[in-house]
Structure 1
C-alpha cells in the first residue's frame, strides 16, 4: 500500500475552506475546488517507494480505469455535459490531428474516454441534473410573464418531449436572446419566489444562479433542469449525455478516468455549445439516485452499473473488533472521510490514516481490513458478476409525443 500525494485544482468556483479543512490544512485564502486521485495524465497522483524520489502512481499501478475526486463548490459550476465513448474517441482524434495542445484552454477532448460519473455527498450537496419533464417545464415557463418565457413555452407546446427540449436549448445557446431578456426572467422569478410561488425550486434556483452569472443564458436553461439535493451518504449517477451543473456542497466524485467536459454557460472557461448539443442529441442516459448494496456488516457499495467504477463506503467501529473487510479488488484507492483508522493488508502492512489521507492498494496487498473508528471510501473496478445497485429514477422517462 502507498500513501498518495494528489494533484489539486483551484478553480474559481471552489470553496476556500472545505477541502483544506477536510485535509487538515490551513486555508490560504484562495478557492480550492478539486483534489484528483488516480492516474489521469493531466493530474495524476504520486507515491514514494522505499524513501526514493516520488514517482507517478501509474509507474506502480499502471493506468487506472477510474478517477476519484474530492469536490467542493461555493458557487455554481459550468453548465456541462460529458460525451459518450464514440463522441469522445472521434473528438479526441480530431483535436489530435489538428495539433491542439493537450493543456490548451480551447482543448475540449483531453482523452478518448467517455465520462460517466457518480457523486457521493459529504455535505448537503445541491445540483442541477437532467431535463425536467415537458409538462413541468411548461408549468415553470407559464408562471413567468415575460416575452422570452412566453416564446419558449410556445415553442415547447409545438415540439414537446426530449427532442423539443433539446431544440429549445440549442436555439438559446446558438441564437441567443435580446439585451435585458435574461434579467427580466430573473426579476420575474425573484418576485414569484418572494411571494412563495415556485415550481419544484425552479424560480429560486434561477435567482440563486443569477447572483453569480446575471446575464448568462445558462440562467434561463436552469429553469428546464431538475434540482436535486443529496444529503450526506447519498449518491447520484450521471451517465454520459446528461446535462448538469453542480451548485454547492462537497462530495466524492468517482468517474471513468476522463477529463472531457463540454460547456455551454455559467463559466469563464471556453464554451462549446454546438458540441454540448451534439452530446444531447445522442440521447439521454438514465438519471438516478443510486441505492447501495450491503457488503458485510459495515459497508455500502454504490455501483451504478458501469464497467469502470464502484464506490464502497465503510463505517468502521468497535462493532467489528477484527476490523472491517473492504470489498476485494486488484486496484483500489482508499480515502479516509472521517475519524482515524488503520489499514491492514494481507501482507501485514499497517498504515494509519486521518481524514483526508488517501492510499493506493494493488494486487499484492490482498485483503484489506480497517481498524479504528471512522469512515473510509474505496474506489475500485467492481467484479462484473456481483450485484448492481438499484437505480431510482428521479423523474418519469421521457415519452415524446
Structure 2
C-alpha cells in the first residue's frame, strides 16, 4: 500500500469550502472544483517513495479508471462525453493537426470514451438526459415567449429523440439574443411564483440564469431532467448522455478520460457541432444504481462496465478484525469519513483520516478496514464483482 497525493483543479464553478474542509484544510477563498485520483497524463497522482514522490503511473501503469472528488457551488457546463469510436477518431484528428494536448480549445485529450458514475457525498443536484417529448412540450407551451413557441412548434413537427436533438442544434446554430433568453426567464419566474412548475423546470431555469444570465444553456436546461441524489445514492451516465451538474459534492468514478464537448454555461471552449454529433448517435444508458452487498459492511456500485466499479465500506467496532473490502488487482482507496486503519494480508497498516488515500495492488491481497469510518474504493471489476441493479431514468 502506498499513500497517495493528488492534483486539484480550481474552476470558477467550484466551492471554496467543501473540498478544503473534506481534506481537513483551511479554506483560502479559492474555488476548488475537483481532485483527480488516478494516472491521467494531465493530472497523475503521486505516491510516497524513499526519495520523495513517484508518479502513480510509473508504479501502476495506466489505470483504466479515475476517481474524482467534485464540489460545485454553481452549475457546470452543459456537456456530453464521446463514445469509444468518437474518442479515438477525435484524438487522432487533433494529434494529426498538432493541437497541443493542454490547449484551451483542445477537445479530445485522450483516446478513451467516458462513461461515469456519480456517488453523492452531500445532496447533489444535476441535469441529466432529455425529458420526454410530451413533458418538454408542456413546459414550453406554458412559457409566454415567441422563442419558446417556435421551439415547441419545431418539436411538435418532429417529436421524439431526433426532434429534441434538432431543437438543441437550432439553439446552438442560431443562438437567441439576451433579450429572448431574459423573456423566457421572466416567464419561468412568474410561473414558479404562481406555484406552477413542471418537475422543477422553471425553477431550474431561473436558478441557472442567476449564475449565467443570457446564456443559451438557460433555455437548454428546460429540455433536461433534474435529478437530486441524496448522500449515499448513485447514478450512472453512459457516454453520450447530455448533462450539467448543478450543486453539491460527490465522488465521480469514470474511465480515465478528460474528453468533454461543451455547449453552454461555461467560459471554456464550446464544440456545439461535436456535441450534436455525439447526441446523434442515440441515447446511452442513464440509470440510478442500487448497490449489491458484499460481506457485512460493503455496498458495491458496479454499473456493468469493464473499466470501473465503486465500493463503499462502513467500518465499525462491530467487526474487530475489520470490514473486508472487495479484492482487485489495482485500486484506489480514500477515506470519506471518520478514521480507519487499512490492513493488507501481510499485516502492513496505514491509518487514514477523511480525505486521505492509498493505492493498493494485487500484492496487497485482501484489505481490511479497522476503526470507525467510511472507505470508498475505486477499482476495475473482476468476474466475481456483483453487478448492481440499474433502474433506467429515461
Aligned to 1:272: 271
Aligned to 2:255: 256
SS at match of 2:52: coil
Tell me: CA distance 1:346–1:174, structure 2 relative to 1, closer, same or farther (3 Å). Answer: same
Tell me, in whole angstroms, the C-alpha distance in 2 between the residues paired with 1:194 and 1:2: 54
1:345 paired to 2:333: no
Contact in 1 for aligned 2:177/2:214 (Cα 8 Å): no
Residue by residue over 1:10-48, the C-alpha shift from the partner in whole angstroms, topping out at 9 and shown as x without a partner, is: 001000010000000011111000000000000010012
Tell me, in whole angstroms, the C-alpha distance in 2 between the residues paired with 1:385 and 1:164: 42
Contact in 2 for aligned 1:89/1:113 (Cα 8 Å): yes
1:385 Cα offset (Å): 4.7
Contact in 2 for aligned 1:121/1:233 (Cα 8 Å): yes
SS at match of 2:108: coil
1:386 Cα offset (Å): 3.4
SS at match of 1:93: helix
Tell me, in whole angstroms, the C-alpha distance in 1 between the residues paired with 2:178 and 2:321: 66
Tell me, in whole angstroms, the C-alpha distance in 2 between the residues paired with 1:65 and 1:104: 24
Aligned to 1:298: 297
Q: CA RMSD in A?
A: 0.7
Contact in 2 for aligned 1:79/1:264 (Cα 8 Å): yes
Tell me, in whole angstroms, the C-alpha distance in 1 between the residues paired with 2:89 and 2:125: 33
Aligned to 2:67: 68
**TM-score of the pair, normalised by structure 2:** 0.99
1:53 Cα offset (Å): 2.1
Contact in 1 for aligned 2:338/2:372 (Cα 8 Å): yes
Runs (4 or more) in structure 1 with deviation over 2 Å come to: 384-387
Aligned to 2:4: 4
1:17 paired to 2:17: yes
Tell me, in whole angstroms, the C-alpha distance in 1 between the residues paired with 2:289 and 2:188: 32
Residue by residue over 1:119-139, the C-alpha shift from the partner in whole angstroms, topping out at 9 and shown as x without a partner, is: 000000000000000001011
Tell me, in whole angstroms, the C-alpha distance in 1 between the residues paired with 2:330 and 2:266: 35
Aligned to 1:158: 157
**TM-score of the pair, normalised by structure 1:** 0.97
Q: How does 1:44-193 map to 2 (within 5 A)?
A: 44-49=44-49, 51-193=50-192
1:40 paired to 2:52: no
Residue by residue over 1:145-184, the C-alpha shift from the partner in whole angstroms, topping out at 9 and shown as x without a partner, is: 1101111111100000000000010010112124410000
Residue by residue over 1:294-340, the C-alpha shift from the partner in whole angstroms, topping out at 9 and shown as x without a partner, is: 00000000011111000000111111111001001000000000000
Tell me, in whole angstroms, the C-alpha distance in 1 between the residues paired with 2:125 and 2:178: 30
Residue by residue over 1:49-76, the C-alpha shift from the partner in whole angstroms, topping out at 9 and shown as x without a partner, is: 2x31211001111110000000000000
Residue by residue over 1:77-132, the C-alpha shift from the partner in whole angstroms, topping out at 9 and shown as x without a partner, is: 00000000000000000000000000000000000000000000000000000000
Tell me, in whole angstroms, the C-alpha distance in 2 between the residues paired with 1:231 and 1:311: 17
SS at match of 2:5: coil
Contact in 2 for aligned 1:307/1:384 (Cα 8 Å): no
1:213 Cα offset (Å): 0.8
Aligned to 1:26: 26
Unaligned runs of 5+ in 2: none
1:377 Cα offset (Å): 0.3
Aligned to 1:399: none
1:394 Cα offset (Å): 1.7
How many equivalent pairs are there? 394
Residue by residue over 1:217-245, the C-alpha shift from the partner in whole angstroms, topping out at 9 and shown as x without a partner, is: 11000000000000000000010000000
Unaligned runs of 5+ in 1: 396-401
SS at match of 1:223: helix
Aligned to 1:377: 376
SS at match of 1:191: helix
SS at match of 1:48: strand
Tell me, in whole angstroms, the C-alpha distance in 2 between the residues paired with 1:307 and 1:297: 25
Tell me, in whole angstroms, the C-alpha distance in 2 between the residues paired with 1:168 and 1:385: 44
Tell me, in whole angstroms, the C-alpha distance in 2 between the residues paired with 1:41 and 1:386: 28
Aligned to 1:398: none
Contact in 1 for aligned 2:330/2:359 (Cα 8 Å): yes
Tell me, in whole angstroms, the C-alpha distance in 2 between the residues paired with 1:365 and 1:228: 38
Residue by residue over 1:182-222, the C-alpha shift from the partner in whole angstroms, topping out at 9 and shown as x without a partner, is: 00000000011111110000000000000011101110000
